[in-house]
Amino acid sequence: MLILYNFAAIYNFIFASSSKINQKMKIKSITTLFFALISFTLFSQNMADYTGGWEGKLNTPKVFNLKVAIENLDSENPVFKIYNNRNIVDQTFEKTSNPELKISFSGNHFFEGTVSENGKEINGFIKSGLLLYHIKLVKSKGNTFTGIWNPLMVDELKSLDFYLSVENGKGNDYQAYPFFGDNRFTGTWCSNFKKENDVISFNDFKTGLQFKGELFENGIRLEVLLGENLLTEIVLQKSTTDWNMGGFVSPKKASTLELTEMEKHIAKDSFPNTHSVLISKEGKLVYENYFHGYNENIPHDMRSASKSISSAIVGIAKDELLFATVEQSIFDFLPEKYQYLKDSLKSKIDIQSLLTMSSGLDADDYTRERTSLASENHYQPTGDWVKTVLEAPMMNTPNTEANYGSANPFLLGIAMDSVVSGPLELFMDQHLFQKLDVSNYIIQTDLQGTPYFGGGMYLTPKDMLKFGELYLAKGKWKGRRIVSKKWVANSFKEYRHLENVPDKNGYGYLWWHHTYQVNGESINSIEARGAGGQYIFVVPELKTVAVITSGNFRNGKTQQPELIFEKSILPYLKK
């Protein structure tokens, strides 16, 4: 305001000055001065002055709980909508004669789905960033299908606090990372930091959300966008105290199994960052509890525990006769542009070697990082993951030695994408998740938008338990065959031991083997495992499935669920 006032004063001075000044000279002087002042205003911000913590308040805890609707589906001009307390997307789309829908909106975002045979629901995905959010739209009055999309994965934020960390500011350079007072959201992966005049912008390539901030002398007005469409805006001020994140209490669920000692340890942080524990015995839920604000409606980041789900998808594709045998070479499934990478040794990389971590490829940097499991940083920063993985040197002959990593199942996802007739995610939904009555889940993709079989799915703990029960029941769910009995049996076999893990665990088709000791007795468990402490335990001899989810991503306690299972759960199951 001061600059505008000064400009007005100078304007009056010039026009009130001697009449000898030519009118054109007056205008030229004003124009030059105006742009000089504006340039000073817009380009004066040094991002070093904004480096540090900023904070503000969201206007509602449900601002990221978005409603999705498809209206008038039978008409010539059906409408696709996304809204919260404001109308975010409202557009017509072209309907085809087949039951599959694909609707592009807000730049690179799209919805794809299939209308059920009875016409009562639409199951599909919103593609945003690297994630495929499953959406179930249910038909209501007036031929309208509605559902909910939670881009932040949580059903409702427990805190209105919003934080922004501006880092490494210098001139126009900086990085910025948003945080929420509700730390159940797994965080943003921000990039593409730009500054133009007094506006900064960046995006979260995981969720697909965009951020645009206007810089002021003592604040930042930050917009959160879906493409170009505004979700909400927040006024931020410099933080003067430490950020307050988390600390929420979950309501206790009623259970038939008493695990009070375990609960005390979790409450005292002896088992830190434990988010959920669920146990079923003989198909009945006997224990269910959530901690630190988590609940049954929040899909949890499974990390590599979803590799075991990837194995199930391969088995279903095999059962559907989409490929002939697990002895088929990976090159049978790859486009022509990758065939030049085939040689006498790599041609022996088959589906089974990928399922058992035995391809022999050094694509996860084993020889350089023997202590690092699933070192995806070797190929994920590259533009062509398939090329980078297959260009890696061979450590040994396929199907001879197992080394745990994520490049092997990544190639499985590429192979399965090549054999299904439509989008791989729709195949996964129709042949596995719908049959398990699982609808609240998220699939992480690779850079090409293909489901990433190396890990990163989000399922609720209850749905993780369902998946474990499916395998305990040898491929059946509620009496219905989903995966063949033979595939489950082959998946649970111990093919060889993992050479690059401390316990040298036995390994099946993307399933871990482990033996626990309880009162001098050995109990064998077959497990899905993910970084940070995401476990599905399947114990056939006890007819038991257990799920533990955690948030130990940086403290070295990623295997803590094994201790909980052995010391605090198995002794009670053996009584």
For residue range 498-533, list pLDDT tens digits in order: 999 999 999 999 999 999 999 999 999 999 999 999
Average pLDDT on 372-398 reads 86
Distance CA 554, CA 533 (A): 11
What is the reported pLDDT for 10? 35
What is the reported pLDDT for 368? 45
Average pLDDT on 36-47 reads 59
pLDDT in tens, 22-33: 444 444 444 444
Average pLDDT on 150-178 reads 97
What is the reported pLDDT for 402? 98
Distance CA 213, CA 222 (A): 4
Rounded alpha-carbon distances, angstroms, from residue 156 to 71, 267, 302, 313? 25, 23, 20, 31
Q: Say if residues 410 and 454 touch (Cβ distance below 8 Å).
A: yes
pTM score, two decimals? 0.91
Q: Who has greater pLDDT, 284 or 378? A: 284
Average pLDDT on 78-100 reads 92
What is the reported pLDDT for 252? 87
What is the reported pLDDT for 300? 98
Q: Who has greater pLDDT, 143 or 87? A: 87
> How confident is the prediction for the chain on average, in pLDDT?
91
Sequence letter at residue 328: Q
pLDDT tier for residue 375 given thresholds of 50, 70 and 90? low
Average pLDDT on 310-314 reads 98
Q: What is the DSSP letter of 498?
A: B
Q: What distance lies between CA 175 and its chain's CA centroid?
A: 21
Q: Say if residues 45 and 174 touch (Cβ distance below 8 Å).
A: no
Average pLDDT on 361-388 reads 74
What is the reported pLDDT for 27? 45
pLDDT in tens, 551-563: 999 999 999 999 9
Average pLDDT on 187-215 reads 97
Please say whether the structural domain 249-298+511-575 has been given the CATH code 2.40.160: no
The H or E element containing residue 272 is: none
Domain edges within the chain = 2-41, 47-60+155-238, 66-149, 249-298+511-575, 302-463+478-487
pLDDT tier for residue 35 given thresholds of 50, 70 and 90? very low
What is the reported pLDDT for 44? 64
pLDDT in tens, 530-544: 999 999 999 999 999
pLDDT tier for residue 247 given thresholds of 50, 70 and 90? confident
* First-last CA distance in the chain: 76
How does strand 512-518 pair with strand 521-530? antiparallel
Average pLDDT on 133-158 reads 94
Examine the pLDDT at 461 and tell me if it is beyond 70.
yes
Examine the pLDDT at 321 and tell me if it is beyond 80.
yes
Q: What percent of the chain lies above the pLDDT cut of 70?
A: 90
Examine the pLDDT at 17 and tell me if it is beyond 80.
no
pLDDT tier for residue 378 given thresholds of 50, 70 and 90? confident
Residue corresponding to tokens 């690179």:
108
28 three-class SS: helix
40 three-class SS: helix
Cα-Cα-Cα-Cα dihedral of 14, 15, 18, 19, to 10°?
Answer: 140
What is the reported pLDDT for 19? 42
What is the reported pLDDT for 558? 96
Sequence letter at residue 496: R
Q: What percent of the chain lies above the pLDDT cut of 90?
A: 84
Lowest mean per-residue pLDDT among 22-36, 111-125, 425-439, 445-459: 22-36
What is the reported pLDDT for 18? 40
Q: Who has greater pLDDT, 367 or 189? A: 189
What is the reported pLDDT for 8? 39
What is the reported pLDDT for 1? 35
Find all residues with CB under 8 Å of 179, minimum gap 6, and list them. 162, 163, 164, 165, 187, 243, 245
- 3-state helix/strand/coil string of 420-462: CCCCHHHHHHHHHHCCCCCCCEEEEECCCCCECCCCCCEECHH
Rounded alpha-carbon distances, angstroms, from residue 412 to 49, 264, 355, 435? 48, 42, 8, 22
Q: What is the DSSP letter of 311?
A: H
Query: Domain 302-463+478-487, what fold?
Result: Beta-lactamase (3.40.710)
| Of 464, 454, 458, nearest in space to 301 by CA | 458
Please say whether the structural domain 47-60+155-238 has been given the CATH code 2.40.128: yes
Lowest mean per-residue pLDDT among 11-15, 39-43, 234-238, 281-285: 11-15
Lowest mean per-residue pLDDT among 199-203, 376-380, 512-516: 376-380
Lowest mean per-residue pLDDT among 311-315, 319-323, 338-342, 373-377: 373-377
| Of 444, 574, 558, 423, nearest in space to 503 by CA | 558
